[in-house]
Structure 1
Amino acid sequence: MCHIVMWDVAGTTPEQRARAIATVQREFEGLRGRIPGMTSLEIGVDTSRISYACDVVLVTQFESVDALEAYATHPAHLEVRDRLEGLRIGRHQVDYPVAQRKAD
């Protein structure tokens, strides 16, 4: 399963927004290796600066739907979510199954 979440961050100045983005990035990177069933985690920061772009994207993959569901209530994830309260002001999410590719 692939789990993608995109956020806009709070801040009225570029410096405030940059600090919020760095905090979101650091917090989610801290989950690497701590969530059973999570097979990959990538967090990216938008460089386009176009008006409709989100500030940050999280792309994770999980072994199964069950692993993704367990992530939602995992204590480490909940701690991150709580620490980021108020920094993330807009949220978009997509979850979808990843097709297994055949070896060549």
Structure 2
Amino acid sequence: MVKHIILWTLKEMSDSEKESVKAGIKEGLEGLKGKVPGLVDIKVITSGRLASSTADLMLDSSFESEEALKEYSKHPEHVAVADSKVRPYTASRSCLDFEV
């Protein structure tokens, strides 16, 4: 099993815009479950953020294997979500991939 964790910081925008963007990211990425081979679980954390946080939201996903993660990164449905709902609104991205 492989974990794929992403932390994003959003670009400067109003609080209401941030909430809308976070909801779109959550809906888009969580909607990939059952569509991408090898994707076991996917959750986007958008609420409950404490003041000590340095990121705005987190992706917590699990894959059957490292190969499945590589395929996910270029899967057309994932690329479409990333290009339309994530990349235009994020200022920074941190990634941690590891085997469990």
For normalisation by structure 2, the TM-score amounts to 0.88
**CA 51–16 in structure 1, closer or farther in 2 if over 3 Å, else same:** farther
Q: Which moved more, 1:3-12 or 1:70-79?
A: 3-12
Aligned counterpart, 1:70: 71
Partner of residue 94 from structure 1, selected from 72, 96, 99: 96
* 4+ residue runs over 3 A deviation: none
CA displacement at 1:51 relative to structure 2: 4.9
Q: Work out the number of aligned pairs and report it.
A: 98
1:33 corresponds to: 34
| CA contact 2:26–2:43 (8 Å) conserved in 1 | no
Partners of 2:20 and 2:52 in 1: CA distance: 19
Q: Counterpart of 2:59?
A: 58
- Residues 3-41 of structure 1: CA distance to partner in whole angstroms, max 9, x if unpaired? 001111234211111111111111111111111011111
TM-score (norm 1): 0.85
Q: Take 1:18 and 1:11, find their aligned partners in 2: how far apart are those partners?
A: 12
**Rg bigger for which structure?**
1
The alignment yields a C-alpha RMSD, in angstroms, of: 1.4
8 Å CA contact 2:33, 2:40 repeated in 1? no
**1:34-77 Cα shifts (integer Å, max 9, x gaps):** 11011111111142341543111111111111111111111111
Counterpart residue identity of residue 90, structure 1: S
5+ long unaligned stretches in structure 1: 99-104
Q: 1:67 to 1:37 in 2, by over 3 A?
A: same
Calculate percent identity across the aligned residue pairs: 28
